[in-house]
Structure 1
Amino acid sequence: MNTLLHPTYFPSISHFVAMAQSEEITFEIEDNFQKQTNRNRTYIYSPNGIQLLNIPVKHSKLSHQKTKDIQIENDFDWQKQHFKSLEAAYRSSPFFEYFEDDIRPIFEKKHNFLLDLNFETLDFITKSMRLKLDYKTTVEYFHEVDANKVTDFRFLANGKKDTSVFESYTQVFDDKYGFINNLSVLDLLFNEGKFALDYLKSQKIS
């Protein structure tokens, strides 16, 4: 079965549960950009609880703009802010230092297009987990797909529609706020390291 997903910024755990258990993966790149979705945001577990990391994008006068045409607003240093937030959140996690040298360049490189950045974050995660991921991208947009051939997980890009609940694992600040479900897969990676992929393969999406 082919799985259809949106490429998002450091995808959620539910995104990676879908990917880790798929035979084929297709990423939707012909859709119209929707604000306030995980296309340009992700959530981490900070010292103060859940924290949103949002990528600023350039606004167009066009009412509808395709996600693949969305450009990042680089007039202020959001990358430095995001990396500092990750350090504050995960510096004391078991595996942050192990992956730090590999993830840092993502925040030192200026990306023009959101899609390029999202695919780079995807590549970082799959390499870190040693998950072999062959994927293709869409060439046109279909509002609905054949459910007999494709599992449509595009809704996972909208966090409000994603009701998945996963098994708990140890998180850095869980003694303060308890387990926070379905954050960025970075939370799982920095806390579970090499065991992250086994976890993803054992979970189910609601």
Structure 2
Amino acid sequence: MTTPLLSAFYFGSVEHYRLLAMHERVIIDLGEHYERQSYRTRTSIIGPNGVQDLVVQIARKSGEKMPMRSVGLSYVETWPQQHMHAIRSAYGNTPWFIHYIDEIEAVVLKKYDRLADLQLATIDLGMKWLGLKTEVVVSDNYIEQTDGLADLRMAFHPKRPLPPEVAAVPPYPQVFTDRHGFVPRMSIIDLVCNCGPDSGRILKG
């Protein structure tokens, strides 16, 4: 099976983890350039008023190009506390919230020097929740030769449709389905808070 080549992500979407579950090995490219308004710095949750994006603040000059491995985090704004408030508001009444909130809080409120360190911490946590044994290989250097790899670095983007290589996740219970219907491409936090230990089975669908 072709090995996927991915960008790093922050509390990736359920579809990110479905892809991980389908492969024994993936490669994360930290040598690629940072891209604004992508899943590299944001995740989406759904609350009573609909979809809400949680965006990480980075330390970078406007227009400056730098590899992902070098992107720092900015704590001038209280985005970690804002993220936790939004997560608690959205999922506080879900069946499994209490089982995951301490681990979410520990990762979000910890201070990291690099964006990549935060991203990898959330990837590891999501895999732990789902019981995934996928080997995650991290490359600090940009990967140009993609022979034998499925290059999906640009495939996951909030404003682009999922490519055919990325299978959509079957609908699962969401706490605000009565208001918004089923909303795909939500954060892995959405799946585990709503479905708990059953999340891995749903993911593999």
So what's the TM-score if we normalise by structure 1?
0.90
- Which runs of 5 or more structure 1 residues have no equivalent in the other structure? none
Whether 1:133 aligns to 2:134 is yes
Paired residues in the alignment total 200
Whether 1:158 aligns to 2:157 is yes
What is the CA-CA distance between 1:123 and the residue it aligns to?
Answer: 1.3
Residue matched to 1:52 = 53
Alpha carbons of structure 1 residues 38 and 88: separation in structure 2 relative to 1, 3 Å: same
Root-mean-square deviation (Å): 1.7
What is the CA-CA distance between 1:144 and the residue it aligns to?
Answer: 5.8
Answer yes or no: is the 8 Å Cα contact 1:155–1:161 preserved in 2.
no
Residue matched to 2:146 = 145
Whether 1:33 aligns to 2:22 is no
| Deviation string, structure 1 residues 41-68 (Cα, Å, up to 9, x no partner) | 0100111000010011112367311111
Instruction: Give the Cα–Cα distance (whole angstroms) in 2 for the partners of residues 169 and 43 of structure 1.
Output: 16
Answer yes or no: is the 8 Å Cα contact 1:24–1:134 preserved in 2.
yes
Give the residue type in structure 1 aligned to 2:152: F
Answer yes or no: is the 8 Å Cα contact 2:69–2:140 preserved in 1.
no
Alignment of 1:22-101 (within 5 A): 22-60=23-61, 63-101=64-102
Answer yes or no: is the 8 Å Cα contact 1:57–1:70 preserved in 2.
yes
Instruction: Give the Cα–Cα distance (whole angstroms) in 1 for the partners of residues 66 and 43 of structure 2.
Output: 21
Instruction: Give the Cα–Cα distance (whole angstroms) in 1 for the partners of residues 66 and 158 of structure 2.
Output: 21
So what's the TM-score if we normalise by structure 2?
0.91
Residue matched to 1:191 = 194
| Deviation string, structure 1 residues 146-199 (Cα, Å, up to 9, x no partner) | 2xx212222233222343643211101111111111111111111111111112
